[in-house]
């Protein structure tokens, strides 16, 4: 690639990052692509077309999932019909990052580009629903085909291809399966979680006014509503279920999903009591009685709903002005709102910080940063084709922060659904009499799973609280999570495998182990490992201020995570085989 092209693509990508906050977000490329072809000729044609697309002028694309005529089997779920994602088709990082033979050059430009991309991602996607819609369009724009769990995958799932599915709008399972894969080859998996600490709108959020102050009923999710949430500018967003006319339906209507966000506008604030009032102003606070958001001030009488608005089943459950505000965001009428699943969130955008911009300061880092790195790595690793005999997955779960025991959590059967469907296709293609169940066990026994969840950077103010020689620092590399008490499941073999992968890929590993007398946090690794029998290694990008409303990571850490995950997909299979039956 010429120096001129290098600068051109870099400028395009950075311009995209700078402008994607605009009301009309634009998308590079054309309509969602199909899965990769297994023939070398098809791969060559795909590369040529990709090069041609890189020369085309940027244009806007509207992904409308209701249009079966346009997208047919490649349609994304209905709830993402309004999604616009600032992503260049068939490339996530700017083309300037790719050098000879499509190799990625890991330099400062790579790390800073992904730092900017991650910061923009946090601005645009404040809730789990928004994160999933972003990842869905990211995958679609790069050739992954959506498969609904409510349909039979037979006929849609091929022996080779790029696919993904979504459950409840809050988790994602994406995978790339190569030609001639067999269960004995195992699966390379990265698992993470995309839920974050928050405050959720209660089923009945309407509260009595206090001397004109309008209050909102919210419930803490995991560690939400901690003291860190006080005195913050809080927006509201999430999923709104809306009914639209459908004469063929039993009810006369169908229900669709609309995603809303008030950002950058804050609508709520939880105020502390000034210290002058004495001990009552000091934490801890009762989250039910003292952590109540104020959403307005109106000393006069409340507005009354119109006759049409009274048709909504939630009209008497939430403040009318809030319902009208949400309806305006969703571009629907209040009468058509069926149900709400809304979160409060910090509207302050992420940014680079420190004298030399050594850090990223942002909300909701745990654990969307590892999810972001994993899904981008999956796309980058297989954009030029899927290696023969390989099977790779990225599983991004919901509800890790509250135990993972939901249909969209890590204790669900999502990993089995993806794997068993691919194995069923293998059985059909190879005319074998083996059962899906037995071959699934074989596949998992040969699998290596990375449980990617954030860990703890060294806080220099509290160095004495850390175990000696276990001080993760920013901008250095991924951190291994170690704990002999079952909170993490990294064993000696898994540790050695990852060390060899890191060496082959030129990565530096760090280690974190909690002190005796302190309790390590939990994550998804033990659940998946115990349910499947797959060897699992717990690791992740380390952060400061875990479970606060805002946190910090190194400015290079997103890119370092992607680099490490790229190496995992590239080397895991060969390294894993060298350990035999251990």
| pLDDT value, residue 188 | 99
Span 198-226, pLDDT tens digits: 999 999 999 999 999 999 999 999 999 99
Confidence grade of residue 103 (pLDDT, cut at 50, 70, 90): confident
| pLDDT value, residue 520 | 82
Span 28-46, pLDDT tens digits: 333 333 333 333 444 444 4
Backbone angles phi, psi at 368, to 5 degrees: -70, -20
Span 451-493, pLDDT tens digits: 999 999 999 999 999 999 999 999 999 999 999 998 999 999 9
Distance between CA atoms of residues 85 and 136, nearest Å: 10
| pLDDT value, residue 104 | 85
The answer, yes or no, to whether residue 79 has pLDDT greater than 80, is no
| pLDDT value, residue 4 | 54
283-285-290-293 Cα dihedral, nearest 10 degrees? 80
Percentage with pLDDT > 70 across the chain: 82
Q: Residue 318, class by beta-carbon neighbours within 10 Å (0-12 exposed, 13-18 middle, 19+ buried)?
A: buried
pTM for this predicted structure: 0.85
What average pLDDT does this structure show over 387-409?
Answer: 98
The answer, yes or no, to whether residue 118 has pLDDT greater than 80, is yes
Better pLDDT: 230 or 518: 230
Helix (H, G, I), strand (E, B) or coil at 167: strand
| pLDDT value, residue 128 | 99
Delineate the domains of the chain, giving CATH numbers in brackets. 3-196+364-577 (3.40.630.10), 198-346 (2.30.250.10)
Mean pLDDT of the chain: 87
| DSSP-assigned beta bridge partners for residue 391 | 177
359-362-364-370 Cα dihedral, nearest 10 degrees? -30
Distance between CA atoms of residues 498 and 509, nearest Å: 9
The answer, yes or no, to whether residue 47 has pLDDT greater than 80, is no
Q: What angle do CA 61, 90, 26 make, to 5 degrees?
A: 25
| pLDDT value, residue 80 | 59
Better pLDDT: 328 or 4: 328
Confidence grade of residue 8 (pLDDT, cut at 50, 70, 90): low
What average pLDDT does this structure show over 328-336?
Answer: 98
Span 288-310, pLDDT tens digits: 999 999 999 999 999 999 999 99
Span 414-427, pLDDT tens digits: 999 999 999 999 99
DSSP summary character for residue 229: G
| pLDDT value, residue 433 | 92
Residue 260 structure tokens:
């809303």
């Amino acid at each position: 690639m010429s120096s001129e092209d290098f600068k051109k693509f870099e400028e395009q990508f950075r311009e995209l990052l700078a402008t994607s906050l605009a009301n009309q977000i634009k998308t590079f490329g054309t309509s969602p692509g199909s899965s990769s072809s297994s023939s070398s000729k098809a791969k060559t044609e795909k590369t040529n077309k990709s090069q041609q697309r890189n020369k085309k002028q940027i244009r806007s694309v509207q992904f409308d999932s209701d249009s079966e005529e346009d997208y047919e089997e490649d349609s994304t779920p209905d709830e993402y019909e309004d999604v616009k994602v600032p992503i260049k088709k068939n490339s996530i990082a700017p083309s300037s990052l790719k050098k000879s033979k499509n190799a990625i050059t890991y330099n400062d430009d790579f790390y800073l580009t992904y730092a900017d991309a991650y910061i923009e991602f946090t601005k645009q996607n404040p809730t789990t629903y928004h994160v999933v819609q972003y990842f869905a369009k990211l995958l679609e724009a790069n050739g992954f085909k959506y498969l609904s769990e409510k349909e039979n995958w037979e006929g849609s799932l091929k022996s080779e291809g790029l696919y993904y599915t979504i459950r409840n709008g809050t988790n994602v399972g994406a995978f790339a399966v190569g030609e001639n894969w067999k269960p004995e080859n195992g699966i390379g998996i990265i698992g993470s979680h995309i839920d974050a600490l928050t405050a959720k709108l209660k089923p009945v959020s309407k509260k009595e006014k206090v001397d004109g102050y309008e209050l909102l009923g919210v419930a803490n999710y995991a560690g939400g509503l901690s003291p860190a949430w006080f005195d913050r500018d809080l927006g509201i967003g999430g999923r709104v279920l809306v009914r639209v006319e459908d004469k063929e339906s039993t009810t006369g209507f169908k229900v669709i999903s609309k995603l809303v966000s008030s950002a950058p506008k804050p609508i709520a604030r939880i105020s502390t009591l000034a210290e002058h009032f004495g001990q009552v102003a000091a934490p801890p606070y009762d989250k039910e009685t003292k952590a109540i958001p104020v959403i307005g001030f109106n000393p006069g009488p409340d507005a009354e709903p119109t006759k049409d608005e009274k048709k909504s089943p939630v009209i008497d459950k939430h403040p009318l002005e809030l319902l009208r505000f949400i309806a305006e965001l969703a571009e629907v009428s209040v009468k058509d709102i069926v149900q709400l699943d809304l979160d409060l969130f910090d509207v302050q955008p992420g940014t680079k910080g420190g004298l030399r911009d050594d850090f990223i300061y942002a909300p909701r880092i745990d654990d969307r940063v590892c999810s972001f790195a994993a899904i981008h790595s999956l796309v980058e690793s297989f954009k030029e084709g899927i290696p023969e005999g390989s099977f790779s997955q990225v599983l991004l779960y919901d509800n890790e922060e509250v135990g993972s025991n939901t249909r969209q959590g890590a204790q669900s059967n999502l990993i089995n659904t993806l794997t068993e469907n691919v194995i069923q296709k293998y059985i059909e293609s190879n005319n074998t009499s083996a059962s899906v169940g037995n071959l699934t066990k074989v596949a998992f026994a040969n699998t290596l799973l990375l449980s990617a969840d954030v860990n703890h950077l060294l806080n220099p103010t509290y160095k004495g609280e850390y175990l000696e020689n276990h001080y993760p620092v920013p901008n250095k590399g991924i951190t291994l999570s170690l704990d002999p008490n079952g909170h993490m499941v990294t064993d000696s073999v898994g540790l050695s495998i990852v060390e060899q992968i890191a060496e082959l890929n030129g990565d530096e590993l760090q280690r974190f182990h909690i002190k005796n007398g302190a309790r390590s946090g939990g994550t998804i690794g033990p659940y998946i490992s115990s349910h499947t029998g797959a060897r699992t290694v717990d690791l992740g990008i380390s952060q400061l201020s875990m479970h606060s409303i805002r946190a910090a990571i190194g400015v290079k850490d997103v890119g370092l995570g992607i680099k490490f995950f790229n190496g995992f997909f590239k080397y895991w299979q060969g390294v894993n085989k060298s350990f035999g039956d251990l």
